[in-house]
Structure formats: structure tokens, C-alpha cells
Amino acid sequence: MSTYLVGDIHGCYDELRALLKQVEFTPKQDTLWLTGDLVARGPRSLEVLRYIRSLGSSVRMVLGNHDLHLLAVFAGISSNTLKDRLRALLQAEEANQLIDWLRCQPLLQVDKEKKLVMTHAGITPQWDLETAKACAYELESVLASDRYPIFLDAMYGDMPNHWTPELKGLSRLRFIATALTRMRFCFPNGQLDMHLKEAPNFAVPPLRPWFAIPSKLPNGYTQIFGHWASLEGKGTPQSIIGLDTGCCWGGVLTLLHWEGQRYYTQASNCHQMKDIVPMKYSF
């Protein structure tokens, strides 16, 4: 029985299946952890959602910013653009069922036995683990309810960028979504900077990667995240592991076998994406 952790898939279905074949993933025995951003950019988002949904309880995943964006597009709140490559998914016969399944997925995974914590972008240095769990649950509850379009309509935007327990309503939910699915850089006090999208060597002090600021998480836990493809899985502390290695941009899809502490990769088939500079996200 193995635990496999895989970085951002972004519609790269063929690469995902080939990567899982490498490790002989067996759904009835193994568990697959996914860092979010299942969809968009790559060519086969529909097939990715179909497959992941079919795995049922064998999967432990979190939502990413592109997954949230898909929900907003399907709800008619945002527009589908050519670069998102979501048309086949949006027009699929089972689109309603897939979207309803997706919006009921978590934003945070915690395994006390394995001492693992996973989110899409990371956990802001302003939060301890209990605060992160409570905040994730707040947003998950809204997304799984009939009120979810109200949040999606207010989701886009970079403010507020500083946590305080006094935040309320849609502003509070927007900060939670930003911290869990979009964060990269912070100021020393933990305040988020949502302008810089590049690799850490582009940062000008006092900005630092969120993982370079002391964490309030309990000792002994390992944090798993995706989202930041330009890191190429490098440059993080030993207890913080980034698994997004830019498959949809012509990089590789990366898997970590937790028990064996061994990495596996699958080269990208997204040849048409290799010469495209990653777009700066609007949210």
C-alpha cells in the first residue's frame, strides 16, 4: 500500500496515466495525492476530471486556482479563453456532474499519521495549522453549498492581502482562496504580495517566498504544494516540497512515492506549449 503525491496536472492526461503506470499505481491498494490545478493549459482536462473522479476514495486532492476558475467559467461568471483549453470539458454531457463533484473537493489535506499537509499554493506564515484547517473548511462549505456562485463572483482580486481574524464575509473568503491557491511571495510580517509571479531570484527585498518565512505549523510535518512551476521543485526547505514542475509548459509531471522517498517524472507531450511564456494570472 503506497502513497503517491503528484504535482499540478493541468489537463496533461496522457502524462498522468504514463506516470502512474511507471509506479504500477493500484487504486484499490494505493492512495493518490494531487496538489490541485487538475485542469486548464493542457489538452485533456475533461479526461483528467473523468479519471480522477472515477478513482473515488483512492484520491486525496485539493483545489487550485485554475480549478476555481473553471467553476467560475461554468457558472457564467468568468470567460473561457483559448489558452484555458476548457471547451471540451464545458461542452461534455456530464459537465454538470463533474463540476458539482469538483466544487465539493477540499482545499487542505492533513494526515496526522504520515505528518503530511497539502494545499495548492502553501500555507501563509500568518496561520497555524488549526487556523488553516478552519479557514479551509469555511471556504469548502461555501463552495459545496448553493451559495457558491456568490463567492465565485467576488473571488477575483488581490485584496485583502493581510490576515486578521476580524475579516468577514466575502473579503474573508477571498483572502482564504488567495492564500491557499495563489500565494507565492510575502513580506516579512506574512502579508501577501500578489504582483510578483516569477522565480525567487526575481524578488526584491523585503519580499521573500512564503516558505522562506518561519512557519507556525507543528514540528515534524511536511508541507506539499504545487502552483509555482518556475521553482521546478527546487529551493525549498527540506520539510516543504513543491511538486509543480511545469508539465503543461513542456516540463515534466512529477510524482513522489512517499514511503520510498523516491521521485518519478514523466516528460511532457505538450509540444505546442514549450515555446509559450507562462501567462501572468489575473487572479
H helices within the chain, ranges in order? 13-22, 45-54, 65-74, 87-90, 95-102, 129-143, 148-154, 169-181
Closest CA to 182 of 31, 37, 4: 37
Largest CA distance in the chain: 50
Per DSSP, the residues of 230-252 read GGTT-S--TTEEE----GGGTSE
Write down the pLDDT at residue 283. 42
Closest CA to 237 of 205, 265, 209: 209
Cis peptide bond prior to 106, omega within 30° of 0: no
Other C-beta atoms closer than 10 Å to the C-beta of 226 total: 31
Write down the pLDDT at residue 271. 54
Burial class (CB in 10 A: 0-12, 13-18, 19+), 129: middle
Class of 3-273 per CATH?
Answer: alpha beta
CA dihedral (202, 207, 212, 217) positive or negative: negative
Write down the pLDDT at residue 81. 86
CA distances from 197 to 109, 188, 275 (A): 25, 18, 18
Secondary structure percentages of the chain, helix, strand, coil, to 5: 35, 15, 50
Closest CA to 101 of 150, 157, 39: 39
pLDDT tens, the chain, 283 aa long:
999 999 999 999 999 999 999 999 999 999 999 999 999 999 999 999 999 999 999 999 999 999 999 999 999 999 888 889 999 999 999 999 999 999 999 999 999 999 999 999 999 999 999 999 999 999 999 999 999 999 999 999 999 999 999 999 999 999 999 999 999 999 999 999 999 999 999 999 999 999 999 999 999 999 999 999 999 999 999 999 999 999 999 999 999 999 999 999 999 997 544 433 343 333 4
Is the Cβ–Cβ distance between 23 and 279 less than 8 Å? Answer: no
Q: Taking the domains of the chain in order of start, what are their residue ranges?
A: 3-273
